[in-house]
Amino acid sequence: MQDIPAGRRPRHIAIIMDGNGRWAQRRDLPRIEGHRRGVASVRRTVEECARLHIEQLTLYCLSSENWKRPPQELEFLMHLLEQYMIEERSTIMKQDIVVEIIGRRDGIPDQVLHEMDKTLAMSSENQGTRLCLAINYGGRGELVDAVRKIAGEVADGRLAPETISEQTISDHLYTAGKPDPDLLIRTAGERRVSNFLLWQISYAEIWVTNRFWPEFCEADLHEAIRAYAGRERRFGGLQKDGGKSSC
């Protein structure tokens, strides 16, 4: 990746990790085996982002809609999450990674919350890549929670309605104070955002691969970063040469 200057790399990469179940089914394996293999992809991706000094990596681990899945699969996902929080602590500390979590805590077992909180506290003083895990997360739910907070401040007289701005909303999201994603990666060929960071990805560059998440490796991450580096981000404006697109 030395051919991509640091200034052309994304500060913040967000990933919709899709295809664990389909990867397993195509190999006549149980779906839970796909989730188990997916953890290895998480480990590879986190370590490579840390090596590349990516400022933030946000992973869509469990959506608020995923609770509709079979109880056995959900139980296994919770087990994997608890196991990850325990087993990856030494690597997290060695690589100076800061772990953060966004989403609602309700529904997550107490023992899993305990291990999550322990890892968050342990890594809070680190200075390297920020690893943000979206767990029991939904973009619409996040906006609802933000609106409730803002409404409460208006009702208490602490906020005047006419002063509410886009920044006000950003400041009340789970991601307050963090940079918006520059690059959104989705695996398994799906071309939708699935209720992920709806506010924050307004200007994110999107890169989709047909590879299932358990297959995702460092080379795929590098390909996505190279594709990002080759794009001209205009944020609704004109090209740098003053021209317009042909459409």
User: For 148-179, how does the pLDDT look when each residue is reduced to its tens digit (9 = 90+)?
Assistant: 999 999 999 999 999 999 999 999 999 999 99
Burial 131-149 (b: 16+ CB within 10 A, else e): bbbbbbbbbebbeeebeeb
Catalytic annotation, residues: 18, 66
Which residue in 88, 76, 85, 83 sits closest to 21, CA to CA? 76
pLDDT in tens, 25-50: 999 999 999 999 999 999 999 999 99
> In this structure, how many other beta carbons lie within 10 angstroms of the beta carbon of residue 124?
10
Supply the pLDDT for residue 1: 80
Where does the pLDDT of residue 232 fall: very low under 50, low under 70, confident under 90, or very high at 90 and above? confident
Q: What average pLDDT does the structure give for the chain?
A: 94
Q: Output the CA–CA distances (angstroms, integers) from residue 25 to 30, 33, 67, 69, in the order listed.
A: 7, 9, 20, 16
What was the pLDDT predicted at 113?
Answer: 98
Looking at 22-36, 179-193, 231-245, which range is the least confident one? 231-245
Residue 78 tokens read as 């919770």
* CA atoms of 213 and 217, how far apart (whole Å): 9
Domains (range + CATH), the chain: 10-138+180-229 (3.40.1180.10)
Please give the pLDDT value at position 239. Answer: 59
Q: Give 16's pLDDT tier (boundaries 50, 70, 90).
A: very high
What local confidence, expressed as pLDDT, does residue 217 receive? 98
Secondary structure (3-state) at 185: strand
The predicted-structure confidence for 47-90, as pLDDT tens digits, reads as follows: 999 999 999 999 999 999 999 999 999 999 999 999 999 999 99
Cβ pair 201, 193 in contact under 8 A: yes
Of all residues in the chain, what percent carry a pLDDT higher than 90? 91
CA atoms within 13 A of residue 215's CA, in its CB half-sphere: 16
Query: Nearest to residue 54, comparing CAs of 229, 232, 234?
Result: 229
CA distances from 29 to 17, 26, 165, 234 (A): 19, 7, 50, 45
The predicted structure's pLDDT at residue 246? 43
Rounded mean pLDDT of 177-188? 98
- 186-230 pLDDT per residue, tens: 999 999 999 999 999 999 999 999 999 999 999 999 999 999 999
Question: Considering the chain, what percentage of its residues have pLDDT values greater than 70?
Answer: 95
**CA-CA distances (angstroms) from residue 48 to 15, 23, 57, 136?**
14, 23, 11, 25
Q: Which amino acid is at 13?
A: I
At residue 98, the pLDDT reads: 98
What would the mean pLDDT of 112-125 be, rounded to a whole number?
Answer: 98
For Cα atoms 134, 136, 141, give the angle at the middle one, nearest 5 degrees.
Answer: 95
Going by C-alpha positions, the residue among 115, 100, 95 that lies closest to residue 12 is 100
